Structure 1
Amino acid sequence: MSDAQAMPNNTEDWGGEMGRTWLANLERFESMIQPIGAALLTHAQFKPGESVIDIGCGGGATTIAIGRAVSPGGRATGLDISLELIQSCGVRASQGTQSQVCFVCADAATVTVTDAPFDRLFSRFGSMFFADAHAGFRNLRKMVRDGGRIDLSVWAPPEENEWIRTLMGAIGKHVDLPPREPHAPGPFALSDLDYLHDVLTQARFGAIEITPCERSMPVGGAGATPDAAARMLVSTLSIGEAVQAAGPDKRDAVIADLTSALAAHHQPGVGNMLAGKAWIVTATAV
């Protein structure tokens, strides 16, 4: 069984435990995906005066950046299902000068947003967790005006992502994992381009453009040592649940192997730099 086939189903409870885990490791997670997030923000080319909704805004960094980009005269609304994350977003935004930034705690798959429709919809790795992707994207369509634009980043397949291949390689030596179910909610739910096109088309998005984006990422967080990164990945990602369930001996063996694998990519003071590949998706609401 290949590493990609061994990826388990992902049913992260982002409204509960996963949201709290992300918040507890906010700086590490944010710095890890920042290179691709920055590329998506540059690609989006927001303009002053635009209204934007940021789906799965997490700790709010992207929403605040969008708020700056659309000032003056624009507004940015961050939406996330995790109450803990949304509460932290409010604190972060209040420390800046972005008066046009606000945050809403709700499920993007079903919520009716009061200020909709927006000019733009943005999501950095926040659109892959709907239980029903087709229904979820139909609801996203309601948030965007006719002719409005969406910009998303979603992970490319696991076999094309060095960081997840490295993690799975260490785990697979010690823990048996169930086969991956294609399109199941989780980080790689929209990695299949045919499926992604179908989801967008059925939700009435057209002029679909998908561009590969590959960046070197500090896996486990900027500046993390190999051991610290290995422990963080095993203890925070859903894939680590199987490792924890396997018992302390196998957990320690996985951490040791993962530490060794990350050490080959470690740059002191920078982090464990491995390639991450995403699809940058742009489409128009029709």
Structure 2
Amino acid sequence: MVSTHHVDPANAEQARAWDGTEGAYWAAHAERFEPALTDYEDAFFAAAAIAPTDRVLDIGCGTGVSTRAVARRASAGAVLGVDLSSAMLEVAAAAVEREGLGNVAFVQADAQVHPFDAGAFDVAISRTGAMFFGDPPAAFANIARALRPGGRLALLVWQPFERNEWMVEIMGALTAGRGLAPPPPDAPGPFSMGDPDRVRSILTSSGFADVEVSGLEERIYFGTDPDDAHRFVSGLLAWRLEELDDAARACALDALHRTMRAHHTPVGVALGSAAWLVTAHT
């Protein structure tokens, strides 16, 4: 794995989180995060239309579940996974080695400013990793330069906060009695690309054409049973409880457990989600 430490100042806060405690938690629980988006995989990879000889850029690759899936499809090509998190990339590299995938490389870098070779890739993908750029137009212009003429872009991004049951229910439980303010829609974060018109505007101004945005709704998974899901989610979002006193914290955790119980299904704890599948060409 190659590391480059140049991070755009607009992404400094994201770098601190993803190459800090947040990224470390994801890395430590990779086996829990990686299956969460299973129900989106078929539609996402169909849209990416990866050919056996394609050179693919995986943006915000995390622990590499999408990178490995791409590597198996582009068996005579190559894939480069890029992420801010050194901890997650270590997990990704170990998994690639275990699977014996020889066509994968990783770089710890800020894709907004990393000096990719011009026209080096046939396809760029990002599965819920493209919503965190501090300067999306600059980031996607940089990605567009890295693609050959006619290259493809495929993104999976979340629809607005209120359409995502998983976030509404979980955050509602953890903030019970304190109000629930959704994040600003254009701030870096999970829902920053929730407005299709904004997505089209950003990509078109960044050098992409034929931008298409289609809606998908699937379940995402948080654990095998309510106790399991409760441990996982309360650890992931422990920062939400830090300012609470003991009584309020216990109340929030109890509300979270009730939410996990309410969404227990035969295949585990699953909540509804809504995403946009975005495709474009250079």
- TM-score normalized with structure 2 length: 0.89
Aligned to 1:170: 173
d(CA) in 2 for partners of 1:216 and 1:179?
21
Aligned to 1:226: 226
d(CA) in 1 for partners of 2:145 and 2:68?
23
Shift of 1:178: 5.1
Alpha-carbon RMSD? 1.8
Shift of 1:116: 5.0
Q: 83, 86, 105: which one pairs with 1:102?
A: 105
Aligned to 2:268: 271
- Name the amino acid aligned to 1:260: R
Q: 43, 49, 54: which one pairs with 1:45?
A: 49
Shift of 1:45: 2.2
Aligned to 2:156: 153
Unaligned 5+ segments in structure 1 are 1-10
Shift of 1:129: 0.6
- Name the amino acid aligned to 2:274: K
Task: Report the CA distance shift for 1:25/1:186 in structure 2 as closer, same or farther (over 3 A).
Answer: same
d(CA) in 1 for partners of 2:247 and 2:39?
35
> What pairs up with 1:5-154 in 2 under 5 angstroms?
12=14, 13-71=17-75, 73-114=76-117, 116-154=119-157
Task: Spell out, residue by residue over 1:78-116, the C-alpha distance to the aligned partner (whole angstroms, 9 max, x if none).
Answer: 111111111221111111232111111111111012585
Aligned to 1:281: 278
Q: Residue 177 of structure 1 contacts residue 242 of structure 1 at CA under 8 Å; is this kept in 2?
A: no
Shift of 1:177: 5.3
For 2:18, what is the secondary structure of its paired residue?
Answer: coil
- Name the amino acid aligned to 2:89: I
d(CA) in 1 for partners of 2:247 and 2:138?
43
Q: Residue 23 of structure 2 contacts residue 85 of structure 2 at CA under 8 Å; is this kept in 1?
A: yes
| Identity between Structure 1 and Structure 2 (%) | 35
Aligned to 2:185: 182
Unaligned 5+ segments in structure 2 are 1-12
- Name the amino acid aligned to 2:278: V
For 1:95, what is the secondary structure of its paired residue?
Answer: helix
Shift of 1:38: 4.2
d(CA) in 1 for partners of 2:119 and 2:252?
47
Task: Spell out, residue by residue over 1:134-166, the C-alpha distance to the aligned partner (whole angstroms, 9 max, x if none).
Answer: 211111112111110000000001111111121
Aligned to 2:258: 260
d(CA) in 2 for partners of 1:58 and 1:38?
19
The list of structure 1 runs, each at least 4 consecutive aligned residues, that deviate by more than 6 angstroms after superposition, is none
Shift of 1:264: 1.8
Whose helix proportion is higher, 1 or 2? 2
Task: Report the CA distance shift for 1:116/1:251 in structure 2 as closer, same or farther (over 3 A).
Answer: farther
For 1:134, what is the secondary structure of its paired residue?
Answer: helix
Shift of 1:203: 0.5
- 190-199 or 248-257: which moved more? 248-257
d(CA) in 1 for partners of 2:101 and 2:135?
34
- Name the amino acid aligned to 2:115: T
Aligned to 1:8: none
Aligned to 1:5: none
Task: Spell out, residue by residue over 1:247-276, the C-alpha distance to the aligned partner (whole angstroms, 9 max, x if none).
Answer: 3322221121121122122025x2112111
Task: Report the CA distance shift for 1:242/1:176 in structure 2 as closer, same or farther (over 3 A).
Answer: farther
d(CA) in 1 for partners of 2:39 and 2:193?
20
Aligned to 1:248: 246
Q: Residue 48 of structure 2 contacts residue 123 of structure 2 at CA under 8 Å; is this kept in 1?
A: no
- Name the amino acid aligned to 1:91: A
Aligned residues: 268
Q: Residue 131 of structure 2 contacts residue 190 of structure 2 at CA under 8 Å; is this kept in 1?
A: yes
- TM-score normalized with structure 1 length: 0.88
